[in-house]
Structure 1
Amino acid sequence: MRFFNASARLRIPRGVSTLTLYEPTMKLKAWALSDVGNVRTNNEDNFFADADRGVFVVADGVGGRDKGEVASSMVAAAVEEAAPNLRQVAREADPVKSPDHRERMLDLIRRHIQQVNTDIFNEDTSRDNEHGMATTTDLLVVAGSSAYVGHVGDSRVYLIRNGQIYRITEDHTYAEMLRRNQRAEMRRLAEANKKFEHMLTRSMGAKPHVEPDTLFIDVRPGDQFVLCTDGLTDYLSGSEILERSTNMKGQRLVDELVAEAKQRGGRDNITVVVVDVLDEPDTARSLPPQAVDTIRQINFLEQIELFDGLAAVELIKVLRTVYERSYSPGDIILRQGEQSGALYLIVEGEIALTVDGTEVARLHAGQHFGELALFADDHTRSATATCASEALLLVIPADKFEKLTGEDLEIGNKLLRNLVRHAGQHIRMMNARLAAGAHMDTMEMMKRDLGKD
């Protein structure tokens, strides 16, 4: 059996004894429990948890007999082997400020999952008996003030922050796919949900290649992550998990979640990993400044027309391409005639747009500019964008956005529809202005003509 070794991806330059690592102090504690449940005779779930390195995974094997158990154990063993190097790479730079480092880490997780998928597929096809070995995977890597997630299947990762719970992964099931299709007839949708709730659209080992979801979020002191298989979420909702996390801590919380799932039926194996980000006095002081955390970014994007219709889990996918930038009065963000390679979202401040030196518009918080760069190659700016005050912007580079929408066509289609609608509204507004201007010119000419008489 061959496992992926992340050390092959890490190269330390010759003559350099150590790497300069980026890592604010962030202490973690973790608790885990896996239970066979009330019906099954064997446990096909597996997990790995290493709070010191900040690496965690849950895997729910499928396939019957020992096949699911073998597949999920291969995931756990591969993550355990890769954990030291996943941590090493994650600590090399600040992913909030460095797009290249963030993408490098997400790509490392993607390739790791794809390699393990290949190993499981090959192990399955090498067997003489019937095939069908597969597993779900949820991989969480926490480093400093950042977290990276790799996700395949219908196990889940939740984030609990400031008394609220957020599901940050999207189930890869036919039922979830139908729910995302808003044109589906509601009656058919309700029937399909029951039939297809556990029919996976993506899993590890079922096919030679798998495309995992990879996500990036910030980490704050007091955060709590819950990784779990569907043996828990079949019986407890997110709000019920939140309620218990408010009243219980540590191993008691994990034990209670598993016990409650068994009390309500326990027809499947149940696995829960809880990760606490400790809120200690030195932690907050060591964190890098970040004005807009993950939850505020989600709330902000929800208010922008371009992202209309995207669910929270879809917006979290978009956030892996979002970077925070601060500007001072007089700073030029874009120049007229230059190529534009990003969308800019104004969180705070004012941006003046000028054409040939004349101000034509002033944009404020909640507005955006540069959206055509996301969908048009070699797009050049028709105006210069200059900061009229201190400004905080969220920036989405076009190349990172193109990669995301290539991996998730549904998100790309939604954004394209929104862009077309926004462009249509802009064209109608400009036509109205031109018509009003033409009317004013006509009135001025009539006044001049009447004056001559």
Structure 2
Amino acid sequence: MPYVAVSALSHPGLLRDRNEDSLVVGPWTLCATVTESPQTLVFPLGTPLVIAVADGLGGHPGGEVASALVVRRIASTGSALSSEDAVRDALNACNRAVYQAAGGDEGSALATMGTTIAGAVVQPGSLMVFNVGDSRVFAAYRDGLRQVSVDDSPPLEPGQRTTSVVTQCLGGSLAYRAISPHVTATAVSPGDRYLICTDGLTDPVLTDVIDDVMREHDDGRAAFELWKAAIEAGGPDNITLAVVRVSDE
């Protein structure tokens, strides 16, 4: 029977006091947790399966609240995300929910809480990639790693490799701001692999290194080695990632 295997972990890194990242894999969520060993989950390829990471905005109170709220909402609706419009509607609903939970009160501890989100919905024959913010989705093709999400970030200055600024996210401001989610559908075949991650991996670790790890290791070991690479690069941020593989046997 065709299936989808997902190897995932979430870790605060070495410098942050807490983990503001969250993760959803089908009905399963990880919120504000510490995992150093990848957990591998296997699902039959059939009804839509959503895998996503959410990165609570650093420097804003309540980042972990926003990211957890979003992945739990996505987990509850994931099996209904069968079209691009359904994914956009779900992300817009998540955005409204973050603002509603924040309360719009400047004096509230959660007033400007926000989060990014990036992920994929896998179903027979197709995969939908989506994101709002700068968390990323990569396709691990035989000829190399290719980013298939769209960064919501300002243009980089010459010599600048990363930026912590996002041009849109879920929540993140006192006044409500609408979003324009990036959603793209593509064909999926047995053997295809994807990496979904927060910038706690991609900021400190070069894409070439990520590519090498994905080429050299199977799913669970790849997830571990990617986490290890981010830690060895200083672990400056929360690290959350999922390696996704579609198989026909």
Would you say same fold, with TM above 0.5? yes
Determine which of 86, 98, 101 is the counterpart of 1:120.
98
Which amino acid in structure 2 is aligned with residue 121 of structure 1?
Answer: Y
Q: Deviations over 1:397-447 (max 9, x none)?
A: xxxxxxxxxxxxxxxxxxxxxxxxxxxxxxxxxxxxxxxxxxxxxxxxxxx
For 1:85, the equivalent position in structure 2 comes to: 80
Give the count of matched residue pairs: 225
The answer to whether structure 1 residue 273 and structure 2 residue 242 are counterparts is yes
Distance in 2 between residues matched to 1:47 and 1:190, nearest whole Å: 33
Counterpart AA for 2:62: K
* Secondary structure class of the residue paired with 1:62: coil
Distance apart, 1:279 and its partner CA: 4.8
Counterpart selection for 1:56 from 47, 51, 54: 51
Aligned residue for 2:228?
A: 259
Q: 2:147, 2:2 → 1: CA distance?
A: 22
Secondary structure of 2:92's aligned partner: helix
Bigger strand share: 2
Aligned to 2:37: none
1:250 aligned to which of 204, 208, 219: 219
Residue matched to 2:4:
28
Aligned to 2:186, the other structure's residue is in SS state strand
| Greater fraction helix | 1
Give distance in 1, aligned partners of 2:60 and 2:87: 29
State yes or no: 1:75 paired with 2:70.
yes
SS in 2 for 1:221: coil
Whether the aligned pair in 1 keeps the contact of 2:55 and 2:115 (CA below 8 Å) is yes
Q: Which residue is equivalent to 1:170?
A: 150
Gaps spanning 5+ residues in structure 1: where?
1-24, 91-104, 180-188, 281-453
Aligned-pair identity (%): 31
Bigger Rg, structure 1 or 2 = 1
Report the alpha carbon displacement of residue 139 of structure 1 after superposing the two structures with TM: 2.7
Provide the C-alpha distance between the structure 2 equivalents of 1:241 and 1:71, rounded to a whole number of angstroms: 28
Q: Distance in 2 between matches of 1:246 and 1:126?
A: 46
Quick one: which of 108, 111, 127 aligns to 1:129?
A: 108
Partners of 1:27 and 1:237 in 2: how far apart?
30
Q: Is the 8 A contact 1:226 1:275 kept in 2?
A: yes
Partners of 2:233 and 2:239 lie apart in 1 by: 12
Q: Following TM superposition, by how much is the alpha carbon of 1:126 offset from its aligned partner in structure 2, in angstroms?
A: 4.7
After TM superposition, the structure 1 = structure 2 runs for residues 363-402 of structure 1, keeping only pairs within 5 Å, are: none
Equivalent of 1:190, from 142, 145, 158? 158
TM-fit CA distance, 1:164? 1.9
Of structures 1 and 2, the one scoring higher in RCO (CA 8 A, sep 6+) is: 2
- Aligned counterparts of 1:213 and 1:239: Cα–Cα separation in 2: 25
Q: Report the counterpart of residue 108 of structure 1 in structure 2.
A: 86
Query: Displacement, 1:213?
Result: 0.7
2:199 to 230, 250, 273: 230
User: What SS does the aligned partner of 1:129 have?
Assistant: coil
User: Which digits, 9 at most, give the CA deviation of each residue in 1:266-315, with x for residues without a partner?
Assistant: 110000101011254xxxxxxxxxxxxxxxxxxxxxxxxxxxxxxxxxxx
Supply the distance in 2 between the matched residues of 1:255 and 1:162 (Cα, whole angstroms): 21
Give the aligned residue type for 2:86. L
RMSD between superposed Cα atoms in Å: 1.9
Cα separation, 2, equivalents of 1:250 and 1:117: 32
